[in-house]
Each structure stands twice: as structure tokens, then as C-alpha cells.
Chain A
Amino acid sequence: MNDMRILERSVDQTDAKISAKDVQVYYGDKQAIKDVNVDILDKTVTAFIGPSGCGKSTFLRCINRMNDTIDVARIEGSIKLDGEDVYDKRVDPVQLRARVGMVFQKPNPFPKSIYDNVSYGPRIHGLARNKAELDEIVEKSLRGAALWNEVKDRLQEPGTGLSGGQQQRLCIARAVATQPEVLLMDEPCSALDPIATGQVEELIDQLRSEFSVVIVTHSMQQAARVSQKTAFFHLGYLVEYGDTDDIFTNPRDPRTESYISGRIG
């Protein structure tokens, strides 16, 4: 009860970039997300944590309406981006996705050259006026994703020829290149070594000055390092949401406590 009031108060705060209310998601008859209310702040990194299968990816995909592509998926409630309901009939999901970028759980580069992978988004959205500008966006995005040094000499080679971790960073670069307002990252570091992970975390920290970033992670340490806010999901419920420091040092819900101390997962 107390929690609810805190949540409701935060809904009224004006710096909520994304505000979800009473979100339910069903896959056919199975409910994957139950009564989720959350406000994701602008220029903040929010971490989603929780055991496997608890609905983190599902909720993330609701924010940019990627679940539209799954026939059996059905969503209720409202998710607002800057106060506008993204599930409103008038909203074109394509326009939404240009503003809310996504890095998927499994690396999925296009089977095209590295350059084409990164430049695709800017090209279809007309973000560059000429080749030089496009080159610049590609380089900046690849640098941001800590990939530039490894691929700068082979931009024309296929992106699918990279290693798993490099592919993941390529996907990050691709998402960053479209200059979204919100970046949704589903376990972006799951295939990365500690050095690349550190670089991506650095990137996330930089992105925070311009965008709001939502990151799903299975690493408590990573959540503690990069995020300011943390949401703990369990069995489709949003169990606890608050400042990262509070959640990790002083969890209110016993389930949160047992998860972060390694007892459920």
C-alpha cells in the first residue's frame, strides 16, 4: 500500500520520460507481465533485474512496441512517452521506434557490411545530408560502442563475420547511430569480455547525458555500477523500484533481498 503511494507520487513528477500504468501483457492465455507501474526518468540509467523468465525482455519490448510483431502478444494498460500514450491508435510504431532504440538480447547484425549496419538507421531517417556526415556518424557510433579500433580497417566486411561480442557492440553502435531519445538494451554485455563490458558501460554513462537508458542485466555488479534506478521483476510483477543504492543496500521486499543476495534466481 505504502509502495503504491510512492509510485503514484512519482508518476506526477514531470521528468518521467516513460510512464507505465497498470501494464498487463499476455502471450495467448499466459500472463507474462502483471500490474506493472513504473516511471522511467529522463537522462537516467534504469536497470531491470530479475530471475530468468520474469518478464524483463517482455516489458522492455512493450516500450517500443516490438511486441506488435508477436501475434499472440496482447498488452493492456498504458505506456506514455513524454506524456503521449504509445499504444494510442494514432501512433505509428515506426516513428516511435526511431525515437526509442533497442539492442536485442541476441546479437542480430544485418548480413551486410559493418558500415551498412551502422549507417542503415541514419540513412532511412535522413540524419545525414551527405556521405561525409554519414561517415562521421558511423565512426562516432562505432567509437561509442568501443568497436572502432577493431573494425576501422574492414568497414566493408560483413557484420556477421565478427565475433559474438563484436556483433553485440555492432548492434549497440547501430542503435546509437539513429540518435534515439530512449535506448532499450536487453543484456547488452552478456557476450562481452570484462574490457569490452567496461567500455560499453562507459558508453552507457555517456549516453545518460542525452538519453534515458534502460538496461536489462543479470549482473548485480553491473546494475550497481551503471544505473541510478533499479527495478526488480519477479514472476511478472514489478516487486521493487527505486534508487539503485537503496535497492542494493536496503531492499524493502524480502524477495528482492533474497534475489540480490543470490538465493533466488
Chain B
Amino acid sequence: MTDATIPAGASPQAKDSLLVPDARTRKRNASEARFRAYGLGAIVIAVIMLLILLFTIITDGIGAFRQTYLTIPVTLDAQQLDPSGNRDPEDLKKILTLTYGNMLNGAVEGVIAESGIQVADLTEKDVNDLISKEAAAQLRNRVLANPELIGQTVESRVLVNGRVDGYYKGRVSMASAALDGNTSPQQLQLADALKDAGLLATRWNWAFLSNPDASDQRPEAAGVGIAILGSLYMMLVVLFLAVPIGVAASIYLEEFATKNRLTDIIEVNISNLAAVPSIVFGILGLAVFINFSGLPQSAPIVGGLVLTLMTLPTIIIATRASLKAVPPSIRDAALGVGASKMQSVFHHVLPLALPGILTGTIIGLAQALGETAPLLLIGMVAFVKNFPSAPPEGLFDPASALPVQVYNWTQRADPAFIERASGAIIVLLVFLLCMNLLAIYLRRKFERRW
């Protein structure tokens, strides 16, 4: 074809100048330039998508890390809180949240009067509802943990309700408050006045990371503490089960098992297992671990077991791939000096495969960390208010998990929970980022041995 295009008279000796690219070169360069443009385009699209995602999550969720508090002195009247006067913890527990609530209301009214705040048409309800319904319970817990506070006047940082908090985060306006049964423009004006008096401020909110979930009416108190703990416990279970089992299985399959039909079938099935939808593992977990084995619902141990099943194929595939990548000459070298199979694997092959195994394992764990569907089926979606105890017993206590908490909060009506859900996503992303950084670090560290 090319021959045909050569002009009949052209002599084969005639040489073109190197300074002028010929037609073939121009064509080749053009196609290379086009390919580079496609690649660049793909990357730009991917980066834009990622930025949009991160931008929306961060703008929605950053608010969860800031919270509006009222700082007021509260007089913990010994008469009311400890009528018997002996500071007996059992007696102190008999005093209900209601008493503390009244005490807080009194304190709020006190500061309003003291700082001479005047708001037209301010009702009693506006004042009492300014602070969160959770505030009284938090004060009670503080006193129960610290009975010597009774009888003193303590500076307390009190949560304000979700609407007022939303007002300072731009979620609520005077106009929307006028239509809202849960707040009123007067209440917001009161908050503004308190803010001017330096008593009310929106500040950094560590409590989001440590608080348990809260009920529908108290978004301002909700946190991811139990969810983080539950996810952590599940990761522990996965780490202690999936890693040893997965690595041992891969070493056996790759280095010791004779290659025959049976091992072929096993290999195909492991690859298939990696593609099974996660919800199927949830059904399996429900049937086997809860209904058959009788393990408790909502427990990290069950979640961990289900996630172990899900993670195993990932770990096995990654481990086998990195074992395969070790040059056979290394095995020969070890066997050649009289090392046994096992010595050659553990002294030489495994150290070389380690970076790959670690990366695969961490990616598997990261996948498990973000998994939601199977956890819904085994009841990890339940509302949990009490922290699980320390492992190993804590593995059997009810807990939540980060991705499930996100799902859970997006189901709730109050828009404040959208902020919480995005905040939980940020926490989840930070964890994933840390795990991936760890994977990169370990990879670098162990690869230097080559």
C-alpha cells in the first residue's frame, strides 16, 4: 500500500531532510498527541468529580465539628440534688434529669435577667427550649461522675438546641424560624443577645467524635463515638481473623498445593467469592452467626466475622499475586543451598512478597471499613446509646459502625442530621486516608529491601 503511493519517478536513493518530518512521522506524532489529550481529559474529569465530591461533603459536614454552646454559671443546689446529704451514689442516681433541667432553666433565666437582655414577645417556652434537651442529662452525668460539685456554682458549657445552632451555621433564618414549631424569631433574637453578651459561642466540637448517637429531637448531641468504636472493633476482628487465614491459605495454595483440578476449582471459587455482592454475606452472617450460632445482634463480633468473610478473597488474591511476583530464581537459590520448602518460603519468598501482602490487606480492610449493606442485615443499624466495654467482652456488646451511622442519619427528618451524616463521612474518609497512607508507607519501607 505504501509502495503504491511512492511516485513512479522517485528514486529509492533520494533522502528526505531530517529537519522535515515525513508523512508517517507526522501521523504517528498526531496520534500520540491525540492519545495524550484523551488521557489528560480523563484525568481532568476524574479530578473534577473528586473535587466536587469532597467539596460538597466538606461544606455539608464541617459544621458537625463546630457546635454552639451557652456558657453559664449553674448553681448545683445540694438541697435538691442530694436531699439525704450523704453523697451516696445510689441516692444521687434517684434524682432525675427533670430536676437538672429545671436548674438549668433557672440558670438561663438568671443570666438573661443579670445581663439585662430585653426581647419583645419572648415567651417562657422560648427561654426554656433555648438549650438542648440533652443538656440536662449531660449535667446530670457530670455530677454523678463528680459528686463533690454538689453545692457549688459551676461554670457550665451547655448545648443549645439544634435550630439555634443551625442559625449560626446558616441553616436556619429568621424567616424559617417564624414557620417553625421548634423555634421562633424571638428565641433567635435572644440567642443573638446572649452572643453579644459573650455568653453564647460556636466553637470546635470534640464531642462529635466522642458522643454516642442521640435521638431524633437532639441532633446537636449526636456523635460518632460508638460508631468509631464499633468500626474499630470490627477491624480488629477482621485483622486477627482475615489476615492470618488469608495469608496462610494463599501461601499454601501458591507454594505447597500441587496444581490439579481441585486447586483450580478452589482458585476459581475464591475469585468468584470476591465478586459476590456484600449483602449476600450479610444474609449468610444473619443465618449462620446469629440464627444458628446464637451470637448477639448488633455486636461487632458478628459484623467482624461477616466482614472477614468478605475481606478474605481480597487478601487471598492480593497475597497470591505478590507471591507469584517473587522471581522463581529466589526459590531455586534457597532450595539449592539445602533449605526446605518452608524455609525458602518464610526466609526468602515471604519477605519479598510482604509489601504486596500489606497493601492488599490494607485495601481489604479499607473496603471492609466502608461496607454498609451486610451490617444492616445483622442489626448494626440499631440505636445504641451505651458505649461497648473494652475488648474482648466489648466485641459482644451492641455497637454501631461508621457507614451505618451515615446511612442512619440520612434517614432522619431533621436537616441537622444531614450535617452530622456528612461529618461522619468526613471521619470515615479520614480513616480511609490514614489507612491508605499507612499502606503506602509500609510499601516504601519494605520495598527498600530489594
Task: Give A contacts to B, CB under 8 Å.
Answer: 64, 66, 69, 71, 94-95, 97-99, 101-102, 104, 106, 108-112, 120-121, 124-125, 158, 160, 171, 174-175, 177-178
A141, chain B: closest CB distance, angstroms: 11
Is residue B449 contacting chain A, with contact meaning CB distance below 8 A?
yes
User: Residue-by-residue, is B346-375 near A (CB-CB < 8 Å gives 1, otherwise 0)?
Assistant: 011000100000000000000000000000
Q: Which residues of the partner chain B approach A71 to less than 8 Å between Cβ atoms?
A: 259
Q: Which residues of the partner chain A approach B340 to less than 8 Å between Cβ atoms?
A: 94
Contact A120 B259, beta carbon cutoff 8 Å: no
Bound CA–CA A108/B352 (angstroms): 14
Contact B338 A108, beta carbon cutoff 8 Å: no
One of B95-103, B181-189, B326-334 at the interface: B326-334
Q: A120-B347, A124-B343 are in contact. Are A69 and B338 (CB under 8 A)?
A: no
Bound CA–CA A175/B333 (angstroms): 9
A27, chain B: closest CB distance, angstroms: 15
Q: Of the candidates A64, A111, A124, A177, which one forms a contact with B336 in the assembled complex, judged by CB atoms under 8 Å apart?
A: A64
Contact B335 A110, beta carbon cutoff 8 Å: no
Contact B347 A97, beta carbon cutoff 8 Å: no
Q: Which residues of the partner chain B approach A106 to less than 8 Å between Cβ atoms?
A: 329
Q: Which of B233-271 contact A (CB under 8 A)?
A: 259
A99, chain B: closest CB distance, angstroms: 8
Q: Of the candidates B333, B338, B347, B450, which one forms a contact with A94 in the assembled complex, judged by CB atoms under 8 Å apart?
A: B338
Q: Which residues of the partner chain A approach B259 to less than 8 Å between Cβ atoms?
A: 71
Q: A106-B329, A108-B333, A111-B330 are in contact. Are A124 and B450 (CB under 8 A)?
A: no
| Ranked 4 nearest A-B pairs via Cβ | A98-B338, A108-B329, A121-B337, A102-B336
Q: Which residues of the partner chain B approach A120 to less than 8 Å between Cβ atoms?
A: 334, 337, 339, 347
Contact A111 B450, beta carbon cutoff 8 Å: yes
Max count, chain B CB within 10 A of own CB: residue among A71, A106, A124 = A124
Bound CA–CA A175/B259 (angstroms): 30
Contact B339 A124, beta carbon cutoff 8 Å: yes
Q: Which residues of the partner chain B approach A171 to less than 8 Å between Cβ atoms?
A: 333
Q: Which residues of the partner chain B approach A102 to less than 8 Å between Cβ atoms?
A: 336
Q: Which residues of the partner chain A approach B327 to less than 8 Å between Cβ atoms?
A: 108
Contact A110 B336, beta carbon cutoff 8 Å: no
Q: Which residues of the partner chain B approach A178 to less than 8 Å between Cβ atoms?
A: 337-338
Q: Which of B314-332 contact A (CB under 8 A)?
A: 327-332
Contact A94 B336, beta carbon cutoff 8 Å: no
Contact A108 B332, beta carbon cutoff 8 Å: yes
Q: Of the candidates B328, B334, B338, B341, which one forms a contact with A110 in the assembled complex, judged by CB atoms under 8 Å apart?
A: B334
Q: A97-B338, A104-B329 are in contact. List 13 more A-B contacts (CB 8 A).
A: A66-B335, A69-B335, A94-B335, A94-B340, A95-B338, A98-B337, A98-B338, A101-B337, A106-B329, A111-B330, A111-B352, A112-B449, A158-B449
Bound CA–CA A126/B331 (angstroms): 20
Bound CA–CA A95/B335 (angstroms): 10
Contact A125 B338, beta carbon cutoff 8 Å: yes
Size of the chain B interface, CB-CB below 8 angstroms: 22
Q: Which residues of the partner chain A approach B335 to less than 8 Å between Cβ atoms?
A: 66, 69, 94, 97
Bound CA–CA A121/B347 (angstroms): 12
Interface of B is mostly: helix
Q: Of the candidates B336, B339, B347, B450, which one forms a contact with A160 in the assembled complex, judged by CB atoms under 8 Å apart?
A: B450
Q: Which residues of the partner chain A approach B341 to less than 8 Å between Cβ atoms?
A: 94
Contact A66 B336, beta carbon cutoff 8 Å: yes
Q: Which residues of the partner chain A approach B330 to less than 8 Å between Cβ atoms?
A: 108, 110-111
Bound CA–CA A176/B259 (angstroms): 34
Residue of B nearest to A98 (CB): B338
B264, chain A: closest CB distance, angstroms: 13
Bound CA–CA A104/B333 (angstroms): 8
Q: Which of B131-156 contact A (CB under 8 A)?
A: none
Residue of B nearest to A117 (CB): B333
Contact A66 B338, beta carbon cutoff 8 Å: no
Q: Which residues of the partner chain B approach A175 to less than 8 Å between Cβ atoms?
A: 336-337
12 pairs from A and B in contact (CB 8 Å cutoff): A64-B336, A69-B332, A71-B259, A97-B337, A99-B338, A110-B330, A110-B348, A111-B449, A120-B339, A121-B338, A121-B339, A158-B450
Q: Which residues of the partner chain A approach B334 to less than 8 Å between Cβ atoms?
A: 110, 120
Q: Which residues of the partner chain A approach B352 to less than 8 Å between Cβ atoms?
A: 111
Bound CA–CA A109/B336 (angstroms): 11
A125, chain B: closest CB distance, angstroms: 6
B302, chain A: closest CB distance, angstroms: 42
Contact B336 A101, beta carbon cutoff 8 Å: yes
Q: Which residues of the partner chain B approach A111 to less than 8 Å between Cβ atoms?
A: 330, 352, 449-450
Contact B332 A94, beta carbon cutoff 8 Å: no
Residue of B nearest to A122 (CB): B337
Q: Which residues of the partner chain B approach A158 to less than 8 Å between Cβ atoms?
A: 449-450
Q: Which residues of the partner chain B approach A160 to less than 8 Å between Cβ atoms?
A: 450
A73, chain B: closest CB distance, angstroms: 13
Q: Which residues of the partner chain A approach B450 to less than 8 Å between Cβ atoms?
A: 111, 158, 160
A252, chain B: closest CB distance, angstroms: 34
Contact A109 B333, beta carbon cutoff 8 Å: yes
Bound CA–CA A112/B337 (angstroms): 15
Q: Which residues of the partner chain B approach A104 to less than 8 Å between Cβ atoms?
A: 329, 332-333, 336
Bound CA–CA A125/B340 (angstroms): 11
Bound CA–CA A69/B333 (angstroms): 12
Q: Which residues of the partner chain A approach B339 to less than 8 Å between Cβ atoms?
A: 94, 120-121, 124
Bound CA–CA A123/B379 (angstroms): 54
Bound CA–CA A160/B348 (angstroms): 14
Max count, chain A CB within 10 A of own CB: residue among B327, B336, B449 = B336
Bound CA–CA A95/B449 (angstroms): 29
Bound CA–CA A109/B347 (angstroms): 13
Q: Which residues of the partner chain A approach B329 to less than 8 Å between Cβ atoms?
A: 104, 106, 108
Bound CA–CA A106/B329 (angstroms): 8
Q: A106-B329, A108-B330, A111-B352 are in contact. Are A97 and B449 (CB under 8 A)?
A: no
Bound CA–CA A175/B328 (angstroms): 18
